[in-house]
Amino acid sequence: MLEALANGVPVVQPEHGSFPEIIENTGGGILFEPGSAEALASALESLMGDPARRRELGDRGREAVRRLYSDEVMARDTLTVYLSALSHAGGL
């Protein structure tokens, strides 16, 4: 999902698990009711018929992934967690 978004490709995902949070954070896709083939078909059809919306979602997703999920951001956040854990354990 993040790979698609990083490349400007909007995503269509079921509304469960971590998908809603990622879609909310990135603005790069749409959700559909899990387990419903009709809802999936409707979501796909809505994007297929709207090139401007696809571009908008793709652009938003690409920008958000670079801002929120880049390797630099992930490394910085991981270091913060490690330093916090060491601090609480008396290691620093």
Q: Where are the domains of the chain?
A: 2-88
User: Whole-angstrom Cα distance, residue 38 to residue 70?
Assistant: 34
pLDDT per residue over 34-71, tens digit each? 999 999 999 999 999 999 999 999 999 999 999 999 88
Report helix, strand or coil for 11. strand
Q: CATH assignment of 2-88? A: 3.40.50.2000
What pLDDT, on the 0 to 100 scale, is given for residue 92? Answer: 62
What pLDDT, on the 0 to 100 scale, is given for residue 72? Answer: 92
What pLDDT, on the 0 to 100 scale, is given for residue 80? Answer: 95
Is the separation of the CB atoms in 6 and 13 below 8 Å? no
User: Whole-angstrom Cα distance, residue 71 to residue 2?
Assistant: 12
What pLDDT, on the 0 to 100 scale, is given for residue 90? Answer: 77
What pLDDT, on the 0 to 100 scale, is given for residue 79? Answer: 96
Residue in 50, 33, 44 with CA at minimum distance from that of residue 11? 44
Mean pLDDT over the full length of the chain: 95
